Amino acid sequence: MGTNRARCLAAAATVVWVLPAYSQLQSEPELALPAALAVAEQSRPLKLPDEKPTIELASYWRHAKPLPKPNTKTQQVADAGPQTESAPLVQPEWLVPEELTEPPGAAVFIDDAQPSIKEVIQLAIANLELPPSQATALMIKARELAVNASSVGDYGDVLDQCHRALDAMPDKTTAASIANLAAWAHNRRGEVVAERGNEHAAFEDFQEAIRLNPDCWPALHNRGVTLARYAQEAEALADFNRVIKLAPDYTVARYNRGEIFSQMGRWQDAIEDYTRAIEAMPDQAGPYAGRACARHQLGETRAAASDFNTAIRLNQRHAVAYIGRGNLYAAEGLYEQAAADFQQALRLNPRSASAYRSVAWLLATCPLEPCRSPAKAVEAAHRFAKMVGEDDPVVLDTLAAAYAAAGDYRKAISYQQQAIVLADSDRRDSLRQRLALYRQGKPFRTK
């Protein structure tokens, strides 16, 4: 679990707390490579862990589209990135007839005016400047199939023709063209499979695409997203670095790298990437929320508040922005406003582990008695622990504070001792200070 982001997402009339029912929780629960090795490492097969982390403290996007306006009050929460339609079909430039060719380096999308089979064949032969051979004919057939491919089976048909073409022992130029087409088909098939939820099968397609064409930046980006979602941060960062070098205008990679930097506690680097993403995607709430979190960590309170407010204005259903702003309010002593934001976050996403952490901390440690509720703090802390697991120092610290507030110092001391063992060295002093309080029979109160 990324404890840096957890710190960011954690933090006078009596506040009435109503936690979501448990039934609402059951449906779904620079480390970069050295320069000399970075490029070579891209095509090296990587292993994806069998299990994804229980929760993700960052949001990674494969694609970005403008947010549609909510149609109903029950529209799905946009807490994990932009709401998207099916990804557009991105084709290699050589699949598009000359009159539709985009500027070099740009992604090319299928246009309503599809090239005819004759045009595809003529273009392929013209580009190769070779007489048609068996390999060339098979490659032309593969390109013809690629023009209208959209399903897993369609991309499999393209790949079958590519493999047959490679088996026909083509010359070097033709072999390179076939490999590029096969890489494109593997990446597109991986995207379709990933959308269906089979990320391990998708990962293998992305890996094969990169093996065939180490500069296939869409596949590098997709592999990076998958690695990031499985908490393989160093490997994901290497992929995003490579994508930004190959396709510097692909802004989604900037946003995703910002999320990785936030997980690593590289706040200034994260701010720079979020800012670049905001410049290109000013209507997306995610980059504003990410930058706000990083600015809060650096003590830039006013700028962080402005970014949180902008994120919420752009997407009033962005639960993460409410959590972040609530933590900022709490840090500034605005406890009632913090409570309101945490409540709203839980309404929007009753499975938000970060929201439960923030709620538990506020209810256990708030210096204003009307805002405290030890029993609710213990309940919220255990929900946080159920989602994340009790092998995380942030979870254990939260449980300890909640039990201390409830007067159960035996449990508070036990949890705090475990938190100290698991915590990074730079956090142990503050944890030990709280442990000393619990041993004296005193709860912890924020100042």
Checking if the pLDDT of 26 tops 70, the result is no
Residue with tokens 């989604």: 252
* Least confident residue range of 16-30, 357-371, 421-435: 16-30
pLDDT, one tens digit per residue, over 238-276 is 999 999 999 999 999 999 999 999 999 999 999 999 999
Q: What total number of domains does the chain contain?
A: 2
Residues 52 and 196 in one domain: yes
Q: What is the pLDDT of residues 57-116, one digit of tens each?
A: 567 776 644 333 444 333 333 333 333 333 333 333 433 333 323 333 333 333 334 455
Amino acid 430: pLDDT:
96
Residue 78 lies in a domain: no
Q: Is 69 inside a domain boundary?
A: no
How far is it, in rounded angstroms, from Cα 286 to Cα 308?
Answer: 10
Is residue 70 domain-resident? no
Query: C-alpha dihedral over 176, 182, 188, 192, to 10 degrees?
Result: -160
Phi, psi at 366, each rounded to 5°: -60, 135
Question: Both 200 and 92 in a single domain?
Answer: yes
Same domain for 58 and 1: no
Q: How far apart are CA 361 and CA 404, in angstroms?
A: 11
Residue 24 falls within a domain, yes or no?
no
Last residue of a domain, which of 183, 209, 235? 235
Q: Which of 42, 20, 14, 126 is nearest to 387 (CA)?
A: 20
> 327 lies in a domain?
no
Enumerate residues 6+ apart whose C-beta is below 8 A from 367. 445, 446, 447
Residues 4 and 53 both lie in one domain: no
Let me know whether 199 and 57 are in one domain.
yes
Domain coverage including residue 410: 1-11+351-447
Report the b/e string of 203-234 with b at 16+ CB within 10 A: bbbbbbbbbbbbbbbbbbbbbbbbbbbbbbbe
Percent of the chain at pLDDT > 90 equals 66
165 and 114 assigned to the same domain: yes
Compute the distance between CA of residue 46 and CA of residue 37 in angstroms, rounded to an integer.
15
How far, in Å, CA of 128 to CA of 171, rounded? 11
Q: What global pTM score does this model have?
A: 0.74
On whether both 188 and 56 belong to a single domain, the answer is yes
Band of residue 27 on the pLDDT scale cut at 50, 70, 90? very low
Do 384 and 440 fall within a single domain?
Answer: yes
pLDDT, residue 34, reads: 35
Is-contact 53 410, C-beta < 8 A? no
User: What's the pLDDT score for residue 106?
Assistant: 35
Listed residues 194, 210, 235: the one ending a domain: 235
Residue 54 has pLDDT above 60, yes or no: no
CATH at residue 403: 1.25.40
Pair 380, 363: CB distance under 8 Å: yes
Regarding whether 169 and 56 lie in a shared domain, the answer is yes
Same-domain pairing of 43 and 141: yes
- 264: number of Cβ within 10 Å: 18
Domain's final residue, options 201, 219, 235: 235
CA distances, 238 to each of 34, 208, 242, 370 (Å): 10, 17, 6, 49
Asked if 1 and 47 sit in the same domain, the reply is no
Residues 5 and 55 in one domain: no
